[in-house]
Structure 1
């Protein structure tokens, strides 16, 4: 009887978890990454960042256990979940979270060249980009052919989520390519640039539709306005990738050994391209912020509140990278202020989440 009671309790609790919940570890991972990149550091900051990173992994593992339980015990739930547009869009956050775990693991572990961890990261990177590309195709096909089609009047930048794991490929490549042999680094850099370009171009096309929707139908309903911050993510990630991919070019290997000036030219160009995309991200951030502030008193907690955090973590890291590239203390101090705001907002959203769960309200 005890086993049956436990089984029923786990099944009841697992029904509360959907793919949308993965935005929570995604936000926590974003905070861990900005703490690792923070330019103005104190002694315990690395330890704090590692604790936040491990907390994010714990969130990811717990969610994965409950969702896996639901898949194997609730017949047909997996298929039904992917037939609903909101859940099919959110499914991409599972792989996006794994990509951030990969980036954070490399950043905090700092594997040595030729070590087993460094070699494992190389393998994981190619697995990541392959699955990210596959998901971007499959999820979009499901959204195009499902019974419940996405409707333009209800559009938010969440429509970009299927391509988000592809967009992150460039950033992951720029992190993984450090501390490895040039023979492995160069293919990773080229692969990261390839998928970054694909993701950025598709996100620009979706953004055009999103702006068209705003002109035609006005602002989204207050409850879904936090998702407007998702439009900040693609240009911010592109800015990060451009600078870091160029910085990690192995100048003494292959093409770059026979064209010694090309690496320097790309490094200079990457900074100005990053500033271009940073300005684009800032405009999207300002638009989302103003629209959310207009409706904040009427904004009940929803899991989409975590969109206040993770896209803006990428925006903060892009600001840090630009400040370092330009050797600008002013920009770096602005980035530090952005880091503090992101941490405070993350704590606020986590508190609101706990309060909502304590009150027994349903989340999806």
Structure 2
């Protein structure tokens, strides 16, 4: 049996071939940790399991960050091929989105125990995530417009990854704001709404293009099967973010001239969240049907399969949030079904990832395919 990386020809080859796609793994694992922690029906060891998944997310994010930094430092010649690549560059948005999962876990699992020091750490990491998200949301589209080559026929939901990052950071602001002083909370929530609007407006435009591409050119190639789920991501994150920002607003602006507006934001969060949940439901059903279509043939595994997990996980969290706000059992049962599906998908994708990692099959950077073999 081949051991890890035995197919690579030099010790640091896997560093050179490391891609930002791997950060999608931290997104899927981190959102699963939150889903387990927020299940409306508790079970023995629930929080231990959720925290264990979060620590795995932290470990993976730290490891991937080191590998990616090492690639950029040791193999600087690979930077522009990655930025010019019409698919690899999109996954730069996965880095801040993975970091937000680390931040949310800090607030959920460690801050209640260790207090202010962990909140301060989460606050600092949130600003880092903001910078990275804006860099992806502004920089990658700029490269699309000036350097990369795209045609409508090859458009997929992967285009959404860099512009959805600010929306995910906005939901992180809503989770962090209740732990901060009023002035800091007001700043974060204000920025959160700005990021939410920046991201969702562009996401709607791209989703329209994805629909047009599907109508004209049908489903993408087998390698991009998971991209059918990606439009669910901004809709689900938009729903969760609008609800979370609205819930955090009244406390942040309590006793100020904007208290009335903050209370209205909470009510609008519910109405807007229900509307976005409905839009996400359409994509959930459509993506499930697309996946069934792909499964009639054998799907080749790649890291893009992690795209099955994060959109489904965020939609599950949004469903739980609606259940808490409305008290309707309907959302609880739908959320539990989605959570069960998420667990099964995560287990499948993790198993296939470990298999590919063991055989050294996943360290292949498409952006370097035209360069000399190493």
Q: TM above 0.5, one fold?
A: yes
Structure 2 residue 338 is the aligned partner of structure 1 residue 344: no
Note if contact 2:28-2:346 (Cα within 8 Å) is conserved in structure 1. Answer: yes
**Match of residue 206 from structure 1:** 206
Distance 1:155 1:145 in 2: 17
**Match of residue 92 from structure 1:** 93
Q: What is the aligned residue count?
A: 356
The worse-fitting range, judged by mean Cα deviation, of 71-80 and 165-174 is 71-80
Distance 1:72 1:268 in 2: 48
- The alpha carbon displacement at 1:233 in A equals 0.6
- The alpha carbon displacement at 1:286 in A equals 1.3
Note if contact 2:253-2:259 (Cα within 8 Å) is conserved in structure 1. Answer: no
Structure 1 spans left out of the alignment, 5+ residues: 1-7
The worse-fitting range, judged by mean Cα deviation, of 30-39 and 308-317 is 30-39
1:217-256 counterparts in 2 under 5 A? 217-251=217-251, 253=253
**Match of residue 185 from structure 2:** 185
**Match of residue 312 from structure 2:** 312
Distance 1:362 1:104, change over 3 A: closer
Could you say what secondary structure the match of 2:313 adopts? helix
- The alpha carbon displacement at 1:96 in A equals 1.7
Could you say what secondary structure the match of 2:12 adopts? helix
**Match of residue 132 from structure 1:** 133
- The alpha carbon displacement at 1:110 in A equals 3.0
TM-score after normalising by structure 1:
0.91
- The alpha carbon displacement at 1:28 in A equals 0.9
**Match of residue 371 from structure 2:** none
Deviations 1:45-95 (A, max 9, x none): 111111111111211222222222222222401222111111111122122
Distance 1:67 1:133 in 2: 19
Distance 1:128 1:207 in 2: 24
Structure 2 residue 38 is the aligned partner of structure 1 residue 37: yes
Could you say what secondary structure the match of 1:300 adopts? coil
Structure 2 residue 314 is the aligned partner of structure 1 residue 288: no
**RMSD of aligned C-alpha atoms?**
2.2
Distance 1:281 1:222 in 2: 23
Note if contact 2:302-2:362 (Cα within 8 Å) is conserved in structure 1. Answer: no
Note if contact 2:33-2:54 (Cα within 8 Å) is conserved in structure 1. Answer: yes
Distance 1:17 1:272, change over 3 A: same
Distance 1:359 1:244, change over 3 A: same
Distance 1:145 1:336, change over 3 A: same
TM-score after normalising by structure 2:
0.88
Distance 1:112 1:249, change over 3 A: farther
Deviations 1:304-327 (A, max 9, x none): 111110111000000000011001
Distance 1:128 1:40 in 2: 32
**Match of residue 256 from structure 2:** 257
**Match of residue 115 from structure 1:** 116
Distance 1:165 1:188 in 2: 16
Distance 1:64 1:120, change over 3 A: closer
Distance 2:129 2:61 in 1: 17
Structure 2 residue 269 is the aligned partner of structure 1 residue 270: yes
Note if contact 2:185-2:252 (Cα within 8 Å) is conserved in structure 1. Answer: no
Distance 1:114 1:51, change over 3 A: closer
**Match of residue 152 from structure 1:** 152
Note if contact 2:178-2:252 (Cα within 8 Å) is conserved in structure 1. Answer: no
Could you say what secondary structure the match of 1:160 adopts? helix
